[in-house]
Structure 1
Amino acid sequence: MSRAQCACGAIKLNFSEPPQLTALCHCFACQRRTGSPFSANAFYDNAAVSIEGETKVFVRTADGGRKVSMHFCPTCGSTVFWKAEASPNWLGVGVGSFADPTFPAPTISVFERSKHDWVRLEEGIGHDSLP
């Protein structure tokens, strides 16, 4: 079973199955959330995740108009997971929260319209069809 956590360890997530999807996201919200030019994300069925610890929640409106609830640690500030109205059966987790260099590689790259020009992706990764 894999485990993700915030920087201070106050929030821990345990998973009973592998992710349904792994993706890179280049949207501006993910850039701001991570402080990086893109985010690496894993998406799990809600039933496969158990959460330990209390989170604070920041709700933002996604580009498509639906709400995304970002769950972060009130102690260290790490955003560990989120839930999106657009995908109510999935829970998203930042791949960095696993601190596992063997974590499965992303299979798709999305919101590439806001991708930094100098970012290069592995061949074979899927690309979104957004302009």
Structure 2
Amino acid sequence: MRRALVLGAEHEMGALLCQSLAQYHWQITATIADPSQPFSLSANLTLAELTKQDGELLDDLVADTDTVFLHLPDPILDRRVIFSLDEILKRVIRYQSNLVITTNVYDTCHSWLNSLIFWQKKKPVDYALPKKYASS
């Protein structure tokens, strides 16, 4: 049975991910930061409360999963993930898990001034592949 870790399951997208994964018989560990939020439980779902101080628990959860699902919420609405994307990526790489990132935030309005500044160099995105993919 495939094992999923859904970070931020108390938010709408996390809850929808849990429901979809349950339909396909995944074993799900869903993390929540706010236990006062209502949440729908299922037979193949384990609920874990996760706070910023629970880095070791996050390590254990990532180590015991095949795929980590992370929804990046809209920062304008003052919703943030507990652990940064960088912290989650390090753990996913360390334990050679898969990572699925979802978002509903899109930058659709570009300033025309930025395109005129030809000397502006954008910082490249750092990434790392698990060793089994790096050699192919």
Asked if these proteins are the same fold (TM beyond 0.5), I'd say: no
Identify, as 1 or 2, the structure richer in strand: 1
- Larger relative contact order (C-alpha < 8 A, sep ≥ 6)? 1
TM-score, structure 2 normalization: 0.28
Identify, as 1 or 2, the structure richer in helix: 2
